[in-house]
Structure 1
Amino acid sequence: MFQTIRVNNHRLDVVFSGKLDSASMKVALDEMIQQAHGITDGAMLVKVGEFELPTLGAMGVEMSRLPQLFRFIRQFDRVAVVAGQTWVRKMSTVEGALIPGLNLQAFALDETAEAEAWLAR
């Protein structure tokens, strides 16, 4: 399951769980990019349910769209990742550290209120 919700002109929420294959990755990326159109200095809340590593095909789709994804992520100053799985939080933190200018913080599922507060700062 994958859902993107544009909360307002500065906030995007992304909710997903399960496994992404190449077709669902394409739809997910298209939806995120479309919903984020026009956002600047934005904040994004990413809620991750039970998540499996994407298929190789999904990773290929993601890699083929890196220029678009870099433009997409530059629209955001802050990203809060809320996930129950420790490895997802750790991977998110590592990815966030690799993207200049992005402030990413990972939170456990029971810290959703803290994630919301951090994004609102």
Structure 2
Amino acid sequence: MLTITKKGDNRVDVDLNGHIDAVNMRVALDELIAASEGVEHGRMLYTIPEFAMPSLAAIGVEMTYLPGLFSLLGKYDRCAVLTDANWIQKAAEIEGALFPGIEIKGFDLDQVTLAEDWLDEAE
């Protein structure tokens, strides 16, 4: 399940927990794009307590959204990724290094306060 929550004018939280199918992917990406309207210097808290590979159909849906998703990169300055999977933390930080203008940092699931403090640092 992929859940999008707008937490403020410039804060969006994404929760990825378990299996994602094409329907859930489409709904969540539409919600992410809508929640990102008007965001400037945004912050994102991405929580992944349990990762499962999305279905092939969900990946196909995501591919159709890529142009819109790339346009979101300019709206966000920081993204904290909460997960106990070290490989996801490292992959997220590498992704942040590849895309200019956004810092991505990984945190353990029990470091919510530390992650939120980091998100708020540069405001």
TM, length-normalised to structure 2 = 0.91
Distance 2:34 2:95 in 1: 22
Q: Which aligned pairs between 1:1-12 and structure 2 lie closer than 5 A?
A: 1-12=1-12
Report the CA distance between 1:26 and its aligned residue: 0.8
Amino acid in structure 1 at the alignment position of 2:9? N
Aligned match of 1:23: 23
Aligned-partner SS, 1:13: strand
Aligned match of 1:78: 78
Choose 69-78 or 91-100, whichever is displaced more: 91-100
Query: Structure 1 pair 55/94, CA: closer, same or farther in 2 (3 Å)?
Result: farther
Distance 1:106 1:116 in 2: 12
| Corresponding residue pairs, total | 121
Choose 94-103 or 32-41, whichever is displaced more: 94-103
Distance 1:52 1:8 in 2: 28
Distance 1:88 1:18 in 2: 14
Aligned match of 1:120: 120
Report the CA distance between 1:67 and its aligned residue: 0.8
Listed one character per residue, the Cα deviations across residues 58-82 of structure 1 (whole Å, up to 9, x for unaligned) are 1121112111001122210000000
Distance 1:93 1:15 in 2: 18
In angstroms, what is the RMSD of aligned CA positions? 1.2
2:41 maps to 1:51: no
**Contact (CA 8 Å) 2:2, 2:25: kept in 1 or not?**
no
Amino acid in structure 1 at the alignment position of 2:111? E
TM, length-normalised to structure 1 = 0.92
Aligned match of 1:94: 94
Distance 1:16 1:98 in 2: 22
